[in-house]
Structure 1
Amino acid sequence: MNHRLIFSRHAIALCLVSQAVMTWAQIAPPPNYDQKLGDVVVNATRSDTPLDQMSLNTTILTKEVLESSPEQTIDQVLKNVPGVFLNDVPYYQKDPTGQSINVRGLGYGRTLVLIDGLPANDAFYGTVQWNLVPMSSIESVEFVRGGVSSLYGNYGMGGVININTKTPKNSSQEVSASTGSFSTGNVAASKDLIVSDSMQMRFSADYFSSEGFQNYATISPASPSNIKNGMGTDAVKNSNVRLQNYFKPTQDTNAFFRVGYSTMADLSNNYAIAPNLIQTADVAGGSTTNLDVNKKVQVNVYYQNTNFYKQTANNLTAAPYKPYINANYTDPYSTTGASAQYTHDLKVAGVDQYIIGIDARNISASNKTNNLSTAGAVSSVSYAQGQQNFYGLLGQIKSSASAIPLEATLGARVDAWNSQTPNSYNAGANGSNPVYQGIPNQNKTQLSPTLGLLYKANKNWDLRSAAYQAFHAPSMNNTLRSYGNSVSGYSLANPNLTPETMTGYEVGTDYRWKSGFAQLTAFNNYIQNAIASYKITTANWATASSLCSTSGLSGCSATSSTSGYTNVSYFTNQQNLQSRGIELQYHHDLNAQWAVDGGYSYTRTVLTWTATTDPINTQVGGVPMNMANAAITYYPVPQASLTTTVRYVGNSWMATGTLPVPAYAVIGLKANYQVTPQAAVFASVVNLLNRQYVTFNIASQATAYQAGMPQAITVGARITF
């Protein structure tokens, strides 16, 4: 069989090392890819598609790849995959409201993230709380680029990332620990228990903490004036506990039940007096029943409840210039969902398989913002409560031609979305004199079709293409939460936002030989009614004054700034966005001791029409046009590996056409040694040469420049017994 591999960095070589370590064999020749990857299946497709039948650009990150990466968090590993736009600041150094992922330059919050096949995007912000998936719990990651709304509906514009966590394999225990620069440490433990052939359990727990590095740039143009009294590094503490249970209630049914709880406390506002706290509890269950040898039914249910308490701080503008808390936010929210799917493998009359499915999801949330005076008194209150409901019906058919080696996948999904904001008001000091706003319900029905084609030219070479339509609903952060101050500006919620619609296509080719592969993909995506922040201009004076008067934010005004803009913005659907580019990946086992990897992406993302002040046909902020990575891995003995990585990021802007970010390159290093079959040690260095640089970001002012990760050394060990 012709199995297409699209692994980041050095996946295949590390798979070889892992196998050699377990058997303590002598150095073997590079693997035969047909044999090594014959059973790779992509679960994120909802139809268990073999890797060589994927018509969309797909990357698989194996456990060995994750363990060999110099980076210590999953977001920083993903940033090196072509098509991903995550900067060189780990999630724990960012504000929890800004932890997300941008794929193909389409913008943050437009890519679906799953944990074991169930949605994991934050219900309120649409972002990804990466602390929910520590590296110690991850078995592998599936990354399918391109519109997948025909399968999943919302968030399906950029693609889907499915994080597969570890499952029970035998009654064993594993303990790992690491420590490193900036007092960064991690401890993780797990226990697998095989009760019987029909009952397996896994309990895991981990704790992560870091004093962090200074999250504001320590070089021009942002500092030193950006560092103010009371500011420090972004300290963070994460904890997770998780119980997974797998059982067989009948001979034909496999089921699971899982429950988890996590917390994250951080100082991403850089003030020790203003901490953030996120507490999340989740529970999920499901089953797969084989009705026949080629028929099955899958049912899943899940619930997640989150409480997010956030504070922001600022400095007094006059002596004694002390810091004070200027606002706090309370955001309780929850997600409830369920899905059912029927799959039938036919292989009759040219139809190989068809699936039909239905799912529903409810998001309920509220936001209470207390704006505080310098004396700590509540000067104004903003409150909003709402919910969004998603209902989807999907169908998909896979077919293979008998005359030519052509495989086709045709799918479509109908989504019904509605948004309700029954309670929204702004009030004065301590909630006095509330002014209620009547918000009409918003509704939209969206059709999301897709067509994928895969042509196998010969055993080693295939051609693929896909066309799709996708949609993305506004996050409740955009519709319910207004925030800001007179220094950084005001961002106002817009409960009248409606979903975006994207149409797109991609074409690609894969070529593989015994010791390597090369893969190339080109894509073109167009988003209509794109959601973006609208910067009020002096020409919109009346609009700005009206928005400020109803926002309830203390000090909000429409006073013109020296640049001709006011400090007021709000979210709208009044723009269209186009993103197109190419993605290239390469791997080659030079011999039994050396392997090389490379990746490159070119992404051109522009606004083609907008009612905002941003220029059209100009590269948007936060999307470097050119990005590349390379790696060299050396195996002195089967039990050891040494990997050197280089990451290059080209010139970019923070805001569309303004606030330039210079290009930079960073070197990383990772060493692994399997001391015994049960014990391993590792060491890594991020930013080996300790280069000072500004990493790319999305922002509207120079004080938001971010310093990239400085040199960080980590050492650790892992024991299985």
Structure 2
Amino acid sequence: MKKLASKGLLMSALICGNVFLGSTAVFAEEVQEYSLDAMVVTATRTMKQIQEVPSSVSVVTAKDIEERNITSVPEALQTLPGVYKSQAIQGGIQLRGFGSGDILVLVDGLQMNYPFNSTVDWEMIPVENIERIEVVRGAGSSLYGGHAVGGVVNIITKDAKKKGLNANIVLNYGSNNTWKKALYADVKANEKVSFGVGYENRKSDGWGNYYQTKAASKGSGTIVPDNKPPQLSNGKYIVATRGDRKYESETYSANVKYNFDAERSLKYTFANTTSTYYYPSPKSYIYKDGKPVWSGKVDLGNGTYVSPSLGTSLGYDGEKEYNKHTLAYNDDKNKINANFSLLDMKKSGYS
């Protein structure tokens, strides 16, 4: 049986503005050092110092990501208080008890929540290309709509800052043959034009999960097994598992930015992400004559039996493909920021 979500297009536009005035006095005789407070935009949609924001706000910077050797966005978010990361492969997050479906996730103004079930595919967001992550806790639907029930995660990506070619190569390896390979490069041609490209590949042989358990029934079974299946503390027996969930994702990205002057700029960003997952090796915990048992009444030898089911021991084969387009205009002088975005979900389904 094949389930496919139809192709969907998600368009969003954000225009906001704010004007404020200030003054600064400098005395030549005094040499003082200041630690500038973080500036955030998410809570009010205008640039403010973090202590002026009437919400609970946290920021993860590019420096934090580098110093802590963080390899994914959920991993970066779980360093903040009140944020919990699921330990499942490609797992989501919880913010004050709300799951990923009730947390709005933005990347350069583009909503990343899947319209079908509001979840987020975190592999679409390369962590090495992030300038900062702003997390606003609490309801934000009055500003951002229905997805922002538990909070908002706003991700701002990097721009080329140094003239010439700048490159970043990432190679990580972990248990279960887990790999991450990434390459990012940007070029600042002059004061007006800069552009960048990126590639990321993640893959893992995964680990076992989704164990099938069965409660014993009274009576005699028709199959006398070679072994008795493992029993849990609640009295149920582990009869099978889907096996290891393997996955692989690949992302290509590119951006170009044009500075009209020191205060006005236009930036276009594109990214394509494909991902697959599957369970290649379901396993039975019951054997008869050295062969796995997937169905029938298995006698436990104490006046009870269990009935495994092959259907609930099989996993899914899933495939997704997305294209992301974002056009952002910034006018620092007039405090105007406009984002026009398109998220094209070409494939999203499983069998």
Q: What TM-score, normalized to structure 1?
A: 0.34
Contact 1:210 1:237 in 2 (8 A): yes
2:239 & 2:191 partners in 1: Cα distance? 60
2:179 & 2:161 partners in 1: Cα distance? 27
2:161 & 2:97 partners in 1: Cα distance? 39
Name 1:256's counterpart in structure 2.
Answer: 267
Name 1:267's counterpart in structure 2.
Answer: 278
2:279 & 2:146 partners in 1: Cα distance? 28
Contact 1:276 1:308 in 2 (8 A): no
Question: For 1:654-696, what per-residue CA distance to the aligned partner results, in whole angstroms no more than 9, with x for missing partners?
Answer: xxxxxxxxxxxxxxxxxxxxxxxxxxxxxxxxxxxxxxxxxxx
Name 2:302's counterpart in structure 1.
Answer: none
Query: Larger strand proportion, structure 1 or 2?
Result: 1
Name 2:339's counterpart in structure 1.
Answer: 300
- Alignment partner of 1:193 out of 187, 192, 199: 187
2:231 & 2:135 partners in 1: Cα distance? 35
Name 2:132's counterpart in structure 1.
Answer: 140
2:279 & 2:158 partners in 1: Cα distance? 30
Name 1:105's counterpart in structure 2.
Answer: 97
Contact 1:268 1:276 in 2 (8 A): no
Contact 1:102 1:109 in 2 (8 A): no
In structure 2, the CA distance between the partners of 1:43 and 1:110, relative to structure 1 (3 Å rule), is same
- Alignment partner of 1:172 out of 153, 166, 170: 166
1:48, distance to aligned residue in structure 2 (A) = 0.9
Q: Helix, strand or coil: the match of 1:109?
A: helix
1:255 & 1:198 partners in 2: Cα distance? 10
- One-letter amino acid of the structure 2 residue matched with residue 281 of structure 1: N
Name 2:51's counterpart in structure 1.
Answer: 52
In structure 2, the CA distance between the partners of 1:270 and 1:154, relative to structure 1 (3 Å rule), is farther
Contact 1:101 1:127 in 2 (8 A): no
Contact 2:204 2:247 in 1 (8 A): yes
Name 1:41's counterpart in structure 2.
Answer: 39
In structure 2, the CA distance between the partners of 1:306 and 1:52, relative to structure 1 (3 Å rule), is same
Contact 1:79 1:87 in 2 (8 A): no
- One-letter amino acid of the structure 1 residue matched with residue 276 of structure 2: A
- One-letter amino acid of the structure 1 residue matched with residue 246 of structure 2: A
2:281 & 2:65 partners in 1: Cα distance? 30
Question: For 1:554-590, what per-residue CA distance to the aligned partner results, in whole angstroms no more than 9, with x for missing partners?
Answer: xxxxxxxxxxxxxxxxxxxxxxxxxxxxxxxxxxxxx
Contact 1:201 1:244 in 2 (8 A): yes
| 1:25-40 matched pairs, under 5 angstroms | 35-36=34-35, 38-40=36-38
In structure 2, the CA distance between the partners of 1:128 and 1:184, relative to structure 1 (3 Å rule), is same
Name 1:563's counterpart in structure 2.
Answer: none
Contact 1:216 1:226 in 2 (8 A): no
Q: Which runs of 5+ in 1 are unaligned?
A: 1-33, 92-98, 312-327, 329-721
Name 1:283's counterpart in structure 2.
Answer: 325
1:112, distance to aligned residue in structure 2 (A) = 0.8
Q: Helix, strand or coil: the match of 2:321?
A: strand
In structure 2, the CA distance between the partners of 1:219 and 1:191, relative to structure 1 (3 Å rule), is farther
1:78 & 1:305 partners in 2: Cα distance? 26
Question: For 1:568-622, what per-residue CA distance to the aligned partner results, in whole angstroms no more than 9, with x for missing partners?
Answer: xxxxxxxxxxxxxxxxxxxxxxxxxxxxxxxxxxxxxxxxxxxxxxxxxxxxxxx
| 1:474-493 matched pairs, under 5 angstroms | none
1:124 & 1:260 partners in 2: Cα distance? 21
Q: Helix, strand or coil: the match of 1:88?
A: coil
Question: For 1:231-267, what per-residue CA distance to the aligned partner results, in whole angstroms no more than 9, with x for missing partners?
Answer: 3211110111111111124665211101110011112
Question: For 1:188-226, what per-residue CA distance to the aligned partner results, in whole angstroms no more than 9, with x for missing partners?
Answer: 111111111011111111111110111236994698625
Question: For 1:2-25, what per-residue CA distance to the aligned partner results, in whole angstroms no more than 9, with x for missing partners?
Answer: xxxxxxxxxxxxxxxxxxxxxxxx
2:47 & 2:231 partners in 1: Cα distance? 49
Name 1:455's counterpart in structure 2.
Answer: none
Name 2:83's counterpart in structure 1.
Answer: 84
Contact 1:235 1:268 in 2 (8 A): yes
2:71 & 2:127 partners in 1: Cα distance? 7
Q: Helix, strand or coil: the match of 1:66?
A: helix
2:279 & 2:77 partners in 1: Cα distance? 22
Q: Which runs of 5+ in 2 are unaligned?
A: 1-32, 212-229, 283-313
Question: For 1:18-46, what per-residue CA distance to the aligned partner results, in whole angstroms no more than 9, with x for missing partners?
Answer: xxxxxxxxxxxxxxxx833x152113231
Name 1:155's counterpart in structure 2.
Answer: 147
2:65 & 2:98 partners in 1: Cα distance? 26
Contact 2:109 2:341 in 1 (8 A): no
Q: Helix, strand or coil: the match of 2:42?
A: helix
Contact 1:84 1:101 in 2 (8 A): yes
Q: Helix, strand or coil: the match of 1:35?
A: coil
Name 2:240's counterpart in structure 1.
Answer: 227
1:304 & 1:219 partners in 2: Cα distance? 47
1:219 & 1:165 partners in 2: Cα distance? 49
1:167, distance to aligned residue in structure 2 (A) = 2.0
In structure 2, the CA distance between the partners of 1:139 and 1:300, relative to structure 1 (3 Å rule), is closer
1:165, distance to aligned residue in structure 2 (A) = 2.2
1:144 & 1:269 partners in 2: Cα distance? 40
Contact 2:272 2:323 in 1 (8 A): yes
- Alignment partner of 2:202 out of 201, 205, 208: 208
- One-letter amino acid of the structure 2 residue matched with residue 56 of structure 1: S
1:77 & 1:64 partners in 2: Cα distance? 11
1:269 & 1:183 partners in 2: Cα distance? 15
- One-letter amino acid of the structure 2 residue matched with residue 225 of structure 1: I
Contact 1:243 1:260 in 2 (8 A): yes
Q: Helix, strand or coil: the match of 1:225?
A: strand
Contact 1:285 1:300 in 2 (8 A): yes
Q: Helix, strand or coil: the match of 2:161?
A: coil
Q: Helix, strand or coil: the match of 1:44?
A: coil
- One-letter amino acid of the structure 2 residue matched with residue 257 of structure 1: Y
1:128 & 1:63 partners in 2: Cα distance? 21
1:268, distance to aligned residue in structure 2 (A) = 6.3
In structure 2, the CA distance between the partners of 1:125 and 1:219, relative to structure 1 (3 Å rule), is farther
Q: Helix, strand or coil: the match of 1:163?
A: strand
- One-letter amino acid of the structure 2 residue matched with residue 276 of structure 1: G
In structure 2, the CA distance between the partners of 1:202 and 1:43, relative to structure 1 (3 Å rule), is farther
Q: Helix, strand or coil: the match of 1:121?
A: coil
Contact 1:259 1:284 in 2 (8 A): yes
Q: Helix, strand or coil: the match of 1:196?
A: coil
1:68, distance to aligned residue in structure 2 (A) = 4.2
Question: For 1:449-507, what per-residue CA distance to the aligned partner results, in whole angstroms no more than 9, with x for missing partners?
Answer: xxxxxxxxxxxxxxxxxxxxxxxxxxxxxxxxxxxxxxxxxxxxxxxxxxxxxxxxxxx
2:279 & 2:122 partners in 1: Cα distance? 15
Q: Helix, strand or coil: the match of 1:266?
A: strand
1:140, distance to aligned residue in structure 2 (A) = 2.2
Q: Helix, strand or coil: the match of 1:172?
A: strand
In structure 2, the CA distance between the partners of 1:236 and 1:283, relative to structure 1 (3 Å rule), is same
